[in-house]
Amino acid sequence: MEEEKITKEMMELLFEKTKGLFSEKVIDYGTNPRNYGAIENPEGYAKITGPCGDTVEIFLRVKKGKIEDIRYTTNGCMTSHAAVSAATVMAKGKAPKDCIRINQSSILDHLGGMPEDAKHCALLAATTLHRALRNFAVGKK
């Protein structure tokens, strides 16, 4: 119970300190990531290290023509987690071909924007997703 109280106080402090810098959605996705983790024997996979040094991995499992499961890992910061987490949320349940529309701009829109110096995180997330989709498409043949 004490740990929950500390976490809540830390989140409130984080929101207060970052007010105006990050949208609530960026902070939420960055601190409570969706679809974090790996998939063993994925049907689609990609790993990219961006220019800032963050490495992102995306794992896909497709069933009946839709992305049934999508997971990611990253060694990046909160904005990297937010961007990749958003990309996975946007892709889950969709046909792989429809996920090509998920790009830097759509991720930033989904998150309510990011500061200029963090926008590259959305590009890294989109690029890694597209490479995992391509890996799936090639492996399917």
**CATH for 31:** 3.90.1010.10
Domain assignment of residue 62, yes or no: yes
> Strands of 55-63's sheet, edge to edge?
44-49, 55-63, 66-74
pLDDT for 72-100, tens place per residue? 999 999 999 999 999 999 999 999 999 99
Q: How many CB atoms lie within 10 A of CB 13?
A: 10
Domain assignment of residue 12, yes or no: no
pLDDT for 1-44, tens place per residue? 688 888 777 767 766 666 668 898 998 999 899 999 999 999 99
Number of domains in the chain: 1
Domain assignment of residue 16, yes or no: no
Task: Give the separation between CA 31 and CA 82, rounded to whole angstroms.
Answer: 8
pLDDT at 87: 98
State which residues form the domain around 33: 23-140
* Structural tokens at position 92: 């889950």
